[in-house]
Structure 1
């Protein structure tokens, strides 16, 4: 029976230098003890030792594999995966794990880049592989009939040392094609040895893994099981809804989860059986700080952070007896075989408390990237691995992750770490998982965009997006809050369960989901894309949704952005609450002639933006449309209202002149009724608005937006000439600009006479009196 690796031995050299010798040792000292368990089937150390020896002979004698040659493994989580891997190592060859879900392009790249001579797979993938390697002399072996039975159960006489290459371990490849880390026997054995020491696991424990075996985690779990002589349970895949039931069923005492797994587990409904398990400890990477204590309390075992990379194995960990680590967000401290530094871009160490890149030296460590000397030199410099992770070191508090160097949003003059925003969003019970990326922005350079996967039953609507961001705003600085929220059903992921952001952004570009622009926080304009139609919602805190200059500028900019027709087929303009919108925000009324001109210019710009679009613009007038806001609807190609729609233009009575080229558009739409609407300033209700032509249709409130969207769809069939007809039917630019000039002149005369200022002041005084009376 093997003994535990003592806690103080983590920095020592492993007692056995290679994985193959470890397996041989376990087969001798514990031949009948369980080693691997898949479902209801299990195999002892001796059985796996014999099987891998026979298969190693087959590789050498049938396939002609020589020491150092590569053998690829493309299988799901079946027992043949570790068997082929260990047999490959016994033959003195190098294993090449391949993600079992790879398709032609990724598969072809890995096979050609690695130079694999043999590929082990199953019937589901054999034809694809054979097609990819046709004519290249690569043998494809179906593991269902590996032909190893006739070979001896003694290991081949292939000399293997600790420094011999064991794996070409391809990284997840979230940006471009993956790179292969060259990992030795010593890498794997030392990784298992260190984990055994810091966990205190022994032969009476039961290890469990659910990640794809092509990723490194099940492989270091295998090395750990061989080190301590404990069984390893391998699940077919990770399923948040069944994972803890499998932990109970197999009486697992240890597992490792990473990425979104802890969050997904925490969001499963609690059950009375949660603490009915044999767990002693859990390793995890990426525990949300706010969930940490709840995870431990719910399942009754300590969860501790461990940090590492494929390139370096294990680097940092939080000891299981360190209760101060719970909820701290700390990644822990270096394992005894590693040294760390936190450096600036020039390589100089930064003071404690300042953010810098984490660089690591020590063992285990990859030998470099296969066939990538330039990439190796970029990442491994003077013996230090540059991780690309931005961290902060605080005395007595370990290392805290801030984000990835390439996973930051540069918003204006501020750096926003995606991981920080993601953590804040995921602490919301409405959110299953989140991914934050940079969205190009003309003004700020980049804006913050969040892709959000919602919990079951949570509606993917504007109010949900607002509440999620509002909650995150209690933890984050305002500049870190997402401007854009796109709801997704799921995320593309790497084999390590990390969100593949490059693939996510590509998917969104090809087929955008329900998306909201919460830029309304800086201009009060909500943006939603539904069925390829942009729905723009005017909304302000005041009951009439009055618009200021910033709101109008933002509206014109967004209309121009969508108006090209490159991303949407039409625009719907509507309001929030009981009002479509009011015009000038009289709480920020112009106090100078220049301010007055700026106000008019911003109204004019909305008119230009609408009339220049190549797609239909529909006004969905949900309630009262006052002043300049009602004039905005005149620019639209149609106006659809509800029984609650009211048009009201009080300008004449307040000494304000019309804008938005209304002197052309009103007469064009409603003829002689324009005089009464402007000079008499009556409230025009829905039925009359329909009769005189201010409205083209009236529908029930609940059907308004849907009808507006349907109108856009009806007007933009495939192969349409909508853009040409819009140009023919809309007023000419010359007529509109002439109207602007007349209106600007009238506004200037009203300003010079003092009528405009007096009218506004009278309105404000009346409103203030009403407020005092009501209180």
Structure 2
């Protein structure tokens, strides 16, 4: 049947939204539905239908079991840790029938998060499944504070023998229903105390605003532990429409499920609309029964295109876990399309826009959105101080920065705590993210503040690219060039880091604290866009220490610490080896060029911070060894473009490369013997292969070898003009790697074998051990600092 042929019967008239719901509790809604339409479909999981009668009877049995077996009393907290299976709403409704308080737990939590929620909530019992029961048992057993917590596997709850009549437990509108933990985008989450009235009013308001009724089909794909599937459940109970529950959100399959289940309404939020829109268009896009979509954070630039593509109106709804629904854009308000409005207050709410002093700001001026009315949380569980900070004089302080226009429409600007404060300018991350995500090559982005010595904070963007888009400097530059036309110059991201995904909360918001932790533990390549920004702003900045970019299908690695002659810390060496290993497989790139910034290729080990213990010494040597292994094991040519001085360990790195191209500024210096420092990185093997009888003089006499001498003895293959250095190296790689070539085989034949390299490493490690334990190495470092000349003094480094 086509959508137009149905007679839509709204469950709640639009003019009733401001009134109190006719049924005051969630359990009463279920009872009323079971009495009025026992065989009607309430839920659909994996194409299995669950009727009102079936859900009502099963939840009553489980409620009796909770009371009679587990000793659950009104007000007790009962945790639910399940994926999106029908047992989730069954357990939730059973807990509410028992008069208890549900504590939803994200099924992706591990021991630390799980333990925190169980301790904080004081949960008496956890209902879970076979996939999580071991984790729950281990977490409970490991914490003496959780010793009394019971555990029930829902597959074996033994509830069949109990009555199908609901237990006689008093539940009213103000009975506490949930401790709903916030998503926790910053720090530990807080539990919002939510009553039955809270859930019923959200559903009542949504039903009235949308006109949904029993002829509709609802769909949800978020985890049930988050509040959206829960209020969707109450919306289904309110309207009589069945709720289709997907196991998870999948951008590639979501709209196919909408068509298959003949869905007429769904709610999405966060990145979900963008991810849906960036799926390849299909001839089936408008072949659906959709009547309307509610969404939070509709991308302004995509709003009209979303409606056009799927043939249904998308409208913004604003709310928080603390307050339910606060604002909504009417479906007959066409001015909301693409206007960035998050709506007008619903009839049961009042809103205001205030400054830091709490006074209302003028229309058109940014300020914090504050909300009062119903529904509203009772407060934060066990956090009276947090409650007082958030709920003041009957007003909820949302922490969201908004602007209200003369017509009363509200536009979201950003979060108070999600701002970049750069040189006195306040930059809303959400504004920069919105500008970035208008770019077709970007799937999603997250903008954060990073410290800066000059401006206090700078703008950094983590970007998830569309498939087949190369994550390199050229792409970063193109993105910044495009976004510069949309944003004020001080808002343009200074730093770009590409990521394969962005960690998210169950509500699909980016977990920025998790993102920062992840990149701290496993730093990726950060592109400093200061040169681009400087072209229009006159500003300058510092590039990353190991810079990666792709030019003409060749990876170029630049050691970029010119104030230290590019001296290599252990972290830089590990990053260098990782880049070579990652991109040296031959699957994507033709080769790798290694060069330096400023007047130095590199000064090797940073002797301003030498190893202070034997373990540190071994890490130092091993990190140099790893660079050699990485280069020798690649299946593509690796060329050293030696732009200036290459000292000690850095000159040794160039020996591993398949060619060394220099300029007139190229200088090699092996100071080991003259300074009493031990050589490393297989110089004993590689140097003799290259320069034969010159190797002894280079090491024992420690001369400085200028560019002409380096060419004469074979240490450098050729000299070119400095401005042509990297381009010539790239040309050479292209010449060595014609299509259909056998370069990888030739490299394996021409390079030293891994066995030879490892034998050299073993000899050098033994020499390093002896040098350390004899005190010769420490004496050598001290001698180096006493005798360094002016140039080395400026660098403060050597090897």
Q: Quickly name the TM-score band, shorter chain normalised.
A: 0.7 to 0.9
Would the alpha carbon gap of residues 421 and 152 (structure 1) be closer, same or farther in structure 2, given more than 3 Å must change? same
- Structure 1 residue 127 displacement after superposition: 2.1
In the other structure, the counterpart of 1:41 is: 48
Q: Secondary structure at the match of 1:311?
A: coil
> Per-residue displacement from partner, 1:708-740 (whole Å, max 9, x unpaired)?
xx99x9999998979998996999567765469
Q: Secondary structure at the match of 1:451?
A: strand
In the other structure, the counterpart of 2:704 is: 669
Cα pair 2:568 2:603 within 8 Å, conserved: no
- Residue 110 (1) aligns with residue 117 (2): yes
> Per-residue displacement from partner, 1:377-429 (whole Å, max 9, x unpaired)?
11111111111111112223611111111111122222221111111111111
Distance 2:604 2:126 in 1: 63
Distance 2:108 2:641 in 1: 55
Q: Secondary structure at the match of 2:249?
A: coil
In the other structure, the counterpart of 1:122 is: 129
Distance 2:9 2:98 in 1: 26
Distance 2:305 2:287 in 1: 16
Distance 1:395 1:672 in 2: 71
- Residue 240 (1) aligns with residue 251 (2): yes
In the other structure, the counterpart of 2:404 is: 393
- Residue 138 (1) aligns with residue 143 (2): no
- Structure 1 residue 484 displacement after superposition: 1.9
In the other structure, the counterpart of 2:488 is: 477
Which of these residues, 50, 64, 77, is aligned with residue 71 of structure 2?
A: 64
Which of these residues, 108, 124, 139, is aligned with residue 101 of structure 1?
A: 108
Would the alpha carbon gap of residues 670 and 333 (structure 1) be closer, same or farther in structure 2, given more than 3 Å must change? same
Q: Secondary structure at the match of 1:457?
A: coil
- Structure 1 residue 238 displacement after superposition: 0.5
Which of these residues, 425, 433, 441, is aligned with residue 430 of structure 1?
A: 441
In the other structure, the counterpart of 1:751 is: none
In the other structure, the counterpart of 1:556 is: 562
- Structure 1 residue 236 displacement after superposition: 0.7
Which of these residues, 20, 33, 36, is aligned with residue 26 of structure 1?
A: 33
Distance 2:707 2:476 in 1: 45
- Structure 1 residue 507 displacement after superposition: 0.9
- Residue 83 (1) aligns with residue 118 (2): no
Cα pair 2:324 2:375 within 8 Å, conserved: yes
- Residue 216 (1) aligns with residue 227 (2): yes
Would the alpha carbon gap of residues 466 and 58 (structure 1) be closer, same or farther in structure 2, given more than 3 Å must change? same
Cα pair 1:342 1:356 within 8 Å, conserved: yes
What do you get for the CA RMSD once the two structures are aligned? 4.4
Cα pair 2:593 2:729 within 8 Å, conserved: no
In the other structure, the counterpart of 1:756 is: none
Would the alpha carbon gap of residues 670 and 332 (structure 1) be closer, same or farther in structure 2, given more than 3 Å must change? same
Distance 1:148 1:406 in 2: 47
- Residue 53 (1) aligns with residue 60 (2): yes
In the other structure, the counterpart of 1:258 is: 269
In the other structure, the counterpart of 1:662 is: none
Structure 1 residue runs without a partner (length 5+):
540-550, 584-602, 651-666, 678-683, 743-775
Distance 1:259 1:30 in 2: 35
- Structure 1 residue 644 displacement after superposition: 10
Q: How does 1:428-577 map to 2 (within 5 A)?
A: 428-521=439-532, 522=534, 527=543, 534-535=546-547, 556=562, 563-566=568-571, 568-569=573-574
- Structure 1 residue 244 displacement after superposition: 0.5
Would the alpha carbon gap of residues 48 and 688 (structure 1) be closer, same or farther in structure 2, given more than 3 Å must change? closer
Which of these residues, 171, 177, 182, is aligned with residue 182 of structure 2?
A: 171
- Structure 1 residue 80 displacement after superposition: 1.1
- Structure 1 residue 457 displacement after superposition: 1.0
Q: How does 1:164-313 map to 2 (within 5 A)?
A: 164-313=175-324
- Residue 647 (1) aligns with residue 663 (2): yes
In the other structure, the counterpart of 1:406 is: 417
TM-score, normalised on structure 2? 0.75
Cα pair 1:212 1:237 within 8 Å, conserved: yes
- Structure 1 residue 669 displacement after superposition: 2.7
- Structure 1 residue 518 displacement after superposition: 2.2
Would the alpha carbon gap of residues 565 and 133 (structure 1) be closer, same or farther in structure 2, given more than 3 Å must change? closer
Would the alpha carbon gap of residues 156 and 688 (structure 1) be closer, same or farther in structure 2, given more than 3 Å must change? closer
Cα pair 1:181 1:310 within 8 Å, conserved: yes
Cα pair 1:361 1:385 within 8 Å, conserved: yes
Would the alpha carbon gap of residues 478 and 698 (structure 1) be closer, same or farther in structure 2, given more than 3 Å must change? closer
Greater alpha carbon shift after TM alignment, 235-244 vs 467-476: 467-476
Q: Secondary structure at the match of 1:178?
A: coil
Would the alpha carbon gap of residues 608 and 144 (structure 1) be closer, same or farther in structure 2, given more than 3 Å must change? closer
Distance 1:40 1:446 in 2: 51
Greater alpha carbon shift after TM alignment, 58-67 vs 214-223: 58-67
- Structure 1 residue 83 displacement after superposition: 1.1
Cα pair 2:607 2:781 within 8 Å, conserved: no
Q: Secondary structure at the match of 2:342?
A: coil
Distance 1:123 1:37 in 2: 22
In the other structure, the counterpart of 1:758 is: none
Q: Secondary structure at the match of 2:39?
A: coil
Distance 2:149 2:792 in 1: 74
| Number of aligned positions between the proteins | 674
> Per-residue displacement from partner, 1:84-133 (whole Å, max 9, x unpaired)?
11111111111111111111111111112212222211111122222333
